[in-house]
Structure formats: structure tokens, C-alpha cells
């Protein structure tokens, strides 16, 4: 795949983003860690996590794509629109009644939790792999946002409609293709995250998701 920008220009976008917005990106990381921990402890509602994801997608769409990435790639305007649209979908999702946490820790939730931890450790992983600040992907940019989203959707929702999954799955392909071309090895997990989310959305749509994947809430009620 050919990109309309060089590797140098690609990392310069991160440099400009990090130098201009690092306090906000750090604050977003801290807030995300706190809310994830409280969510796992049952102290934060699923709707709050949907609002968190909405903010992440709006931030990535506006603060990264529209403000910085459009300088080297005109397609970033389309990405910005899609990311803001995804933010709106997450805001709307808080009103849907069939989207709540499972009552039991399942295979699906284990995969989701792993992706969440990976997304939160994303900046450190890039640094360990030889990238240097500020010319490195940190937090609040599209790829860790997508990984975090896949993780939270897998742990958060027993049922994931394609309206919520389509854009994250699409970006897992776009971002994953750049992982090999630009040497961002932390992004190699993107296609895996997208695949897991796509499988869960497809099984949610077909209604054939195994009980061990969905958890207790998917099991039919016993007859009296």
C-alpha cells in the first residue's frame, strides 16, 4: 500500500501532536486508567465508559486527524469525520438497554481486558521498542484508541451492533497496514483487536455466540 507521505513526515505529525498537546494526552491517559479501574470494580456504569469512548474518538478525530494529520494526508479529513461520527454513535449507545456488563468473567472479557491493558501501556511499548519522544505515537491517537475501544466493547457489551464496530474494525485494517510500513510494532496488535471485535459483532448479529464467550447473560432461562 502506498501512502501520500514519507516515514519522516509520519513521525513528524506525532512530534507536533506531542509537543503541542502532551499535557492533555497525559490527562486523558490518567482519566482513562482511573475510569477503567473503577469500571472493573463496579463503581462506574457502562454508560460512563461509552461517554469515555465517545471522548476518545472525538479527540482522535479532531485533535489528531483534523489538526495535525491533514497537513500530510488529505484523506485525514475523511478520517476526522468518521471518528467524530463514531463518537456520536457511542453517545447514542448509552441509551440502548441490551448493552450491559456480563455477570461472569468470560473468554471474551479476558481478551478485552488484555487489549485494554495493552492500549494503556501503548506509549511505554513504543518507547521500549526504540521510538523516542516526541517522534512517537503516545496516547489519544487513533491506533491506541481503536485497541482500547475493542477491549472495552468486548468487556462492556454482551451484544455489539455493527454500527459500533464497523469504524473501529475499518481502522484496525488501515492502521495495521501502516504498522509494517512505518515500523510501529506496537500496532501489530491492531488487526488482532479488529478481528476479535468483528467476530463478536458478527456473532451478536447472527445470535450464535457461544455461551462461554458471552457469559451468563446469554444463557436461556431455566423453566420452572
Quick one: residue 62, left, alpha or beta (phi over 0 = left, psi -120 to 50 = alpha)? alpha
Helix %, strand %, coil % of the chain (to 5): 70, 0, 30
Instruction: Establish if 53 belongs to a structural domain.
Output: yes
> From first to last of its 224 residues, what are the pLDDT tens digits of the chain?
567 899 999 999 999 999 999 999 999 999 999 999 999 888 988 889 999 999 999 999 999 999 999 999 999 999 999 999 999 999 998 665 445 455 567 889 899 999 999 999 999 999 999 999 999 999 999 999 999 999 999 987 888 889 999 999 999 999 988 788 898 999 999 999 999 999 999 988 776 544 333 343 333 333 33
Report the distance separating Cα 133 and Cα 115, nearest Å. Answer: 23
Q: What are the Cα distances from residue 167, in Å, to 59, 79, 120, 141?
A: 15, 10, 21, 15
What is the domain count for the chain? 1
Instruction: Establish if 109 belongs to a structural domain.
Output: yes
Q: Which residues contact 212 (CB under 8 A, 6 or more apart)?
A: 106, 107
Instruction: Establish if 223 belongs to a structural domain.
Output: no
Query: What is the distance of C-alpha 194 from the center of its chain?
Result: 9
Instruction: Establish if 222 belongs to a structural domain.
Output: no
Range of the domain at 194: 7-217
Instruction: Establish if 156 belongs to a structural domain.
Output: yes
Instruction: Establish if 71 belongs to a structural domain.
Output: yes
Instruction: Provide DSSP, 175-215.
Output: HHHHHHHHT-GGGGGHHHHHHHHHHHHHHHHHT---HHHH-
Instruction: Establish if 2 belongs to a structural domain.
Output: no
pTM given for the model: 0.89
Instruction: Establish if 28 belongs to a structural domain.
Output: yes
Q: What are the Cα distances from residue 150, in Å, to 28, 77, 177, 196?
A: 18, 23, 17, 8
Amino acid at each position: 500500500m502506498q501512502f501520500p507521505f514519507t516515514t519522516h513526515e509520519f513521525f513528524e505529525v506525532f512530534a507536533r501532536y506531542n509537543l503541542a498537546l502532551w499535557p492533555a494526552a497525559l490527562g486523558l491517559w490518567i482519566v482513562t486508567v482511573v475510569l477503567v479501574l473503577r469500571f472493573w470494580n463496579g463503581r462506574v456504569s457502562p454508560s460512563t465508559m461509552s461517554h469515555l469512548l465517545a471522548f476518545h474518538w472525538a479527540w482522535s478525530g479532531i485533535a489528531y486527524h483534523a489538526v495535525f494529520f491533514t497537513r500530510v494526508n488529505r484523506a485525514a479529513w475523511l478520517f476526522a469525520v468518521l471518528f467524530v461520527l463514531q463518537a456520536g454513535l457511542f453517545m447514542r449507545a448509552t441509551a440502548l438497554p441490551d448493552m450491559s456488563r456480563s455477570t461472569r468473567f468470560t473468554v471474551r472479557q479476558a481478551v478485552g481486558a488484555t487489549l485494554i491493558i495493552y492500549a494503556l501501556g501503548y506509549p511505554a511499548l513504543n518507547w521500549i521498542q526504540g521510538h523516542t519522544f516526541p517522534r512517537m505515537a503516545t496516547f489519544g491517537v487513533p491506533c491506541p484508541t481503536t485497541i482500547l475501544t475493542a477491549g472495552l466493547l468486548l468487556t462492556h457489551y454482551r451484544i455489539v451492533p455493527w454500527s459500533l464496530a464497523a469504524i473501529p474494525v475499518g481502522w484496525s485494517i488501515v492502521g495495521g497496514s501502516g504498522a509494517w510500513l512505518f515500523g510501529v510494532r506496537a500496532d501489530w496488535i491492531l488487526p488482532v483487536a479488529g478481528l476479535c471485535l468483528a467476530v463478536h459483532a458478527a456473532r451478536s448479529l447472527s445470535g450464535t455466540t457461544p455461551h462461554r464467550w458471552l457469559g451468563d447473560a446469554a444463557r436461556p432461562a431455566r423453566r420452572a
